[in-house]
């Protein structure tokens, strides 16, 4: 079984992305194969240099950097969505694989789930 957790909402404005990340970490904690796909406005999770001291929320960059350590297999970013938001590999957090065909990626996984 392999699960793809999809995040299509930006960070901070809603909690759905954080709750999606918790789902991925839980699967990994149970030694289940899990990857993350960022698409739509969700690719903004991956923008480098997020400084959250002004909004009383923890930076999601730290959460993301912990993903490989917790056993999340891959973090994919939808190529088209990155282009729409002006995100280039240099402007993104480390460890992200570009996904030129996210529909195909979903079909390659047994489960695909959103957090909300």
Partner 1 sequence: MTSIHTLHILNKAPEHPRTAECMNAIRSGDALLLTENAVLALSILDDQAPMAQVYAIASDAIARGFGQSGTKATLVDYPAMVKLTAQAQHLISW
Partner 2 sequence: MSDNPLQNFTLVITGAPYSSQAPQTALAFARAAISAGHTLDRVFLYGDGVHLASSLSTPPSDETHWPKEWAEFLEQNVIPGAACIASALRRGLVNSEEQKRYQLPANNILAPFIIAGLGEWVEGTMASSRVVYFHAGG
Q: Which residues bind partner 2 (CB under 8 A)?
A: 1, 3, 9, 12-16, 19, 22-23, 26-27, 29-30, 32, 55-58, 111, 113-116
Residues 6 or more apart in contact with residue 67 via CB below 8 angstroms = 21, 24, 25, 36, 75, 95
Q: Which of 54, 69, 88, 90 binds partner 1 (CB under 8 A)?
A: 54
> Cα–Cα distances in Å, from 34 out to 15, 44, 86, 111?
20, 21, 27, 9
Identify which of residues 29 and 92 has a Cβ nearer to partner 1 in the complex: 92
> Partners of 36 in the beta sheet?
5, 75
11's contact among partner 2, partner 1, none, with CB below 5 to 8 A by partner kind, is partner 1
CB 24 within 8 Å of CB 67: yes
64's contact among partner 1, partner 2, none, with CB below 5 to 8 A by partner kind, is none
Segment contacting partner 1 (CB under 8 A): 19-27, 28-36, 40-48, 62-70?
A: 40-48
* Per-residue binder mask for partner 1 (CB under 8 A), 84-103, x = binder: xxxx---x----------xx
The rounded radius of gyration (Å) of the Cα atoms in the chain is: 13
């Amino acid at each position: 079984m392999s699960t793809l957790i999809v995040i299509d909402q930006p960070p901070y404005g809603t909690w759905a992305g954080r709750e999606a990340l918790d789902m991925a970490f839980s699967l990994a904690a149970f030694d289940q194969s899990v990857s993350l796909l960022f698409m739509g406005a969700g690719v903004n999770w991956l923008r480098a240099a997020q400084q959250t001291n002004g909004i009383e929320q923890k930076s999601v960059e730290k959460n993301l950097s912990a993903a490989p350590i917790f056993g999340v297999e891959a973090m994919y970013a939808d190529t088209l969505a990155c282009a729409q938001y002006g995100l280039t590999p240099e402007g993104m957090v480390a460890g992200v694989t570009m996904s030129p065909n996210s529909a195909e990626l979903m079909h390659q996984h047994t489960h695909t789930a959103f957090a909300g």
